[in-house]
Structure 1
Amino acid sequence: MTGVSRRGIPQKALRVGIVLVLLFFLGRQLDQRQATYLAPDSNAGIIAKPAGIVVIGLVFYGRRDRASSMFCYLQRNMVGNGGWPDEVIWFDDSAIPLLVSRKISHPNDFVVSANIINNPPLGFLHFHMGALHPYLPETRQPSAAPTSWKSSEHGFWQGDRDFSLGLHLSPPYQGHRWLRVEDERIMTQTPASELRYEVWGDSYASWTAAAQMHYSLLENIEKDTLDLYRFNPPWLMHGERIRINFMCVYGDDILDNEIESWPRDRGDEDMLVLDLPAKLHRLRGSATAVVDGPVVKIPTTGRK
């Protein structure tokens, strides 16, 4: 790929990438027309795509089954074109424009991460920001249940006021629903209350916490309250680990650092969010977990 560097000098290509299960590269294009995107709230207005920038999506095949599931988003016609239903894998329409804009305006941030649902340690932060809501699994199987994804059409959870659910209980039955608890005080008795600021551990492995986070996302989509997830200002990782599920990087930051010589005992995540930011003295912006509101749900790779 040829083009200009991020400094405008005709050297290497301007290679800006977003790593999710996909990797997007940004480079110069001949067509100078601008594209615009609606920002996620009324205050942000319209996001204009920088003139002369093209976004190219590359697929990471470390886990082929996960990567292939994202192909539907490239086609913008999920089920009709062989993709997965959009309620299974979803991201906000403004996620990519805002992620790229943040990276371009803050080039010293080595990696910019999207605001990902069910992606430790972010779940702990979402809980304390009020983005998660009290949900519990229904205690008895109904003879018939609504099929809508909207929690408001399923009624409230019914059960003992003292009922509590930990991080590792077994499912009550196959195909059970999680229902909204009307009493907000029950939140302290739900799995989300046990989340910790950690990358691994129970916050990563718990299926019950994952279920509650996903049902909370559906509620926030229905009520148009995705702003509850927004980090303002951005959350700075300061050299701590965050997963490389949906990220934006400059390609030359990666390619100019001798990929072939990376230690065999260090994975790509180790290098991108820990080792290279430290080596290049760019810890402050390492994995800035985002930014002005793009919310993302992607397939998980753990027990969830």
Structure 2
Amino acid sequence: MARELLIRGRTRNLRDVESNSERKSFWRDWTLVLLWSVVGYACLIFTVLAFFNPRLVHFDISSLLFRKEISPFFAFSQASAHYPKPQGFKIVALVPYHNHERTAILDCYLQNNLVQHEGFLDQVVFVPQTEDPTSIQWLYSIINQTPEYTVAPSGDDGEWEVAGNVMYIRIDGDTVFLEDNAIPTIVKTKLDNPDSLVVSANVVNEAALASLHSHPGVALPYLPELHRAGQPSRSKPQPDDDWRPSNLPRWQGPPSFKIIRGFEPPFGGHRWLLSHDPSSNRDPIAASVYTDTGPTLDDWTVGAQQHYSFLHHLEDNDLGHYKFPLWVNPSEPISQHFGCFWGNDAAAVRNTFNGTRYSSQHLSDETRPQVIIDGKGIAVHYSAEQAAAGLDATDLITRYRAFAREKVCLQTE
């Protein structure tokens, strides 16, 4: 009997302990639930706020919700507010001006980069290099509308020597795309590298970068359509303001077709279409690299393929294909179409010019200038030389204009 009572006592005591533990566990569980609910709710609020206000975080919060490629190299941009405009000096854009149709595209990007629109540019100085009456008239029309716009007193680069405490950014007037972070990035890199003479942006398919931007996966197998399309080859007709290559049909042509040296444009306003066969040597870049009869990398056909490849990546939001950190003193000249330098270095910059490119040649004092390409901010230049040879026979200008109107110009109109 005593043993039974003992066992019953133990049973009763154990039951009391379990009951006591159950009450503790009940409150602990609800405390954890409440805590995680608060944390989850806070994260949800932060995610929503960060999605609509990118300034809260230093990366694209939407990439956590949607499938988007993030460049492996961080670039400063006004969208993140991580790197505000430096104070104590002016930032002036020098714009050699050739053609109103191309500079009308650049105008949207320049407007967005003005200080009044939370950009870095205090002033834009156009340097006319054309005598075309229509282009000159257009230039003065936009200057009269924008107080920050002005014209250089002469059609050369003498404006560079106006002031020493000025950072100049030379942006060729034929620039047809400018990434949001391009100007803040090269300004930051120039200040971080005070010994550098020139910091260039990542200009697509220009000079030293031509080979890099021709790698498979960056350059895609685009080919020119050979005949005018009588009927739309898609279910929906393509509007004139559609810049997206995905709405184009696939390339069709004879299996033996290849781009050879001296290839002439099929017809005015022709498009370039993505080929089903990426392994052939028929596209301009592959023909240039792997055949003896292909064009050079300076040919207009290579430029057309590069431009269409860029628009393809732009639509897919994967410009990370073009990105790299810094390239210091490249062995080949770099493009002068998008470069950043101090006014005090204007004479030295002149001495390092080699044709239309910045050269890493030695200066008179036997010092090697530090020339840097910053691969984190992208610009696209529409080559005037290639345009005369055949680039103008494509519809590329129409596509870049359509992109700017849809994505850029609306912010300032």
How is 1:181-260 mapped onto 2 (pairs within 5 angstroms)? 181-186=275-280, 188-195=281-288, 202-204=296-298, 206-232=299-325, 234-238=326-330, 240-254=332-346
Verify the 8 A CA contact 2:222 2:272 in the aligned structure 1.
Answer: yes
Gap runs ≥5 in structure 1: 1-34
Verify the 8 A CA contact 1:102 1:291 in the aligned structure 2.
Answer: no
Deviation at 1:150, TM superposition (A): 1.1
Q: Return the match for 2:200 from 102, 113, 118.
A: 113
Q: Which residue type is aligned with residue 143 of structure 1?
A: G
In structure 2, do the counterparts of structure 1 residues 242 and 194 end up closer, same or farther at CA, with 3 Å as the change threshold?
Answer: farther
What secondary structure does 2:197 align onto? coil
Q: Which residue type is aligned with residue 320 of structure 2?
A: D
Q: Which residue type is aligned with residue 216 of structure 1?
A: S
What secondary structure does 1:291 align onto? strand
Relative to the length of structure 2, the TM-score reads: 0.51
What secondary structure does 2:254 align onto? coil
In structure 2, do the counterparts of structure 1 residues 167 and 278 end up closer, same or farther at CA, with 3 Å as the change threshold?
Answer: farther
State the identity %: 26
Q: Which residue of 1 aligns with 2:367?
A: 281
Q: Which residue type is aligned with residue 209 of structure 1?
A: V
Higher alpha-carbon deviation: 273-282 or 171-180: 273-282
Q: What is the CA deviation profile of residues 71-116 of structure 1, one whole-angstrom value per residue up to 9, with x for unaligned ones? A: 4433239xxx969xxx981111111111111111122222111111
What secondary structure does 2:384 align onto? coil
Deviation at 1:237, TM superposition (A): 3.5
CA distance in 2, matches of 1:175, 1:253: 43
Q: Return the match for 1:143 from 217, 230, 250.
A: 230
CA distance in 2, matches of 1:75, 1:101: 20
Question: Is residue 273 of structure 2 the alignment partner of residue 179 of structure 1?
Answer: yes
Deviation at 1:208, TM superposition (A): 0.7
Q: What is the CA deviation profile of residues 14-65 of structure 1, one whole-angstrom value per residue up to 9, with x for unaligned ones? A: xxxxxxxxxxxxxxxxxxxxx999778476374412542555324344x544
Verify the 8 A CA contact 1:108 1:282 in the aligned structure 2.
Answer: no
Q: What is the CA deviation profile of residues 190-232 of structure 1, one whole-angstrom value per residue up to 9, with x for unaligned ones? A: 1112557xxxx9322x111111011001001000111111124
How large is the Cα RMSD of the aligned pairs? 3.8
Verify the 8 A CA contact 2:257 2:282 in the aligned structure 1.
Answer: yes
Q: What is the CA deviation profile of residues 161-193 of structure 1, one whole-angstrom value per residue up to 9, with x for unaligned ones? A: 33211243011122111001133213x321112
Deviation at 1:275, TM superposition (A): 5.0
CA distance in 2, matches of 1:64, 1:137: 27
Verify the 8 A CA contact 1:168 1:207 in the aligned structure 2.
Answer: no
Q: Which has the higher helix share?
A: 2
What secondary structure does 1:98 align onto? helix
Relative to the length of structure 1, the TM-score reads: 0.67
In structure 2, do the counterparts of structure 1 residues 98 and 129 end up closer, same or farther at CA, with 3 Å as the change threshold?
Answer: farther
Q: Which residue of 1 aligns with 2:384?
A: 301
What secondary structure does 2:386 align onto? coil
Q: Which residue type is aligned with residue 311 of structure 2?
A: L
How is 1:23-42 mapped onto 2 (pairs within 5 angstroms)? 41=70
Question: Is residue 73 of structure 2 the alignment partner of residue 57 of structure 1?
Answer: no
Verify the 8 A CA contact 1:37 1:97 in the aligned structure 2.
Answer: no
CA distance in 2, matches of 1:159, 1:118: 27
Deviation at 1:133, TM superposition (A): 0.5
Verify the 8 A CA contact 1:117 1:295 in the aligned structure 2.
Answer: yes
Deviation at 1:268, TM superposition (A): 7.5
Question: Is residue 263 of structure 2 the alignment partner of residue 169 of structure 1?
Answer: yes
CA distance in 2, matches of 1:50, 1:133: 37
CA distance in 1, matches of 2:343, 2:211: 31
Verify the 8 A CA contact 1:129 1:228 in the aligned structure 2.
Answer: no
Verify the 8 A CA contact 1:239 1:278 in the aligned structure 2.
Answer: no
Q: Which residue of 1 aligns with 2:154?
A: none
Q: Which has the larger radius of gyration?
A: 2
Q: Which residue type is aligned with residue 192 of structure 1?
A: I
CA distance in 1, matches of 2:380, 2:368: 27
Q: What is the CA deviation profile of residues 226-251 of structure 1, one whole-angstrom value per residue up to 9, with x for unaligned ones? A: 1111124x233446422211011122
CA distance in 2, matches of 1:88, 1:271: 15
Deviation at 1:289, TM superposition (A): 2.2
Deviation at 1:298, TM superposition (A): 2.6
In structure 2, do the counterparts of structure 1 residues 105 and 226 end up closer, same or farther at CA, with 3 Å as the change threshold?
Answer: same
CA distance in 1, matches of 2:273, 2:316: 16
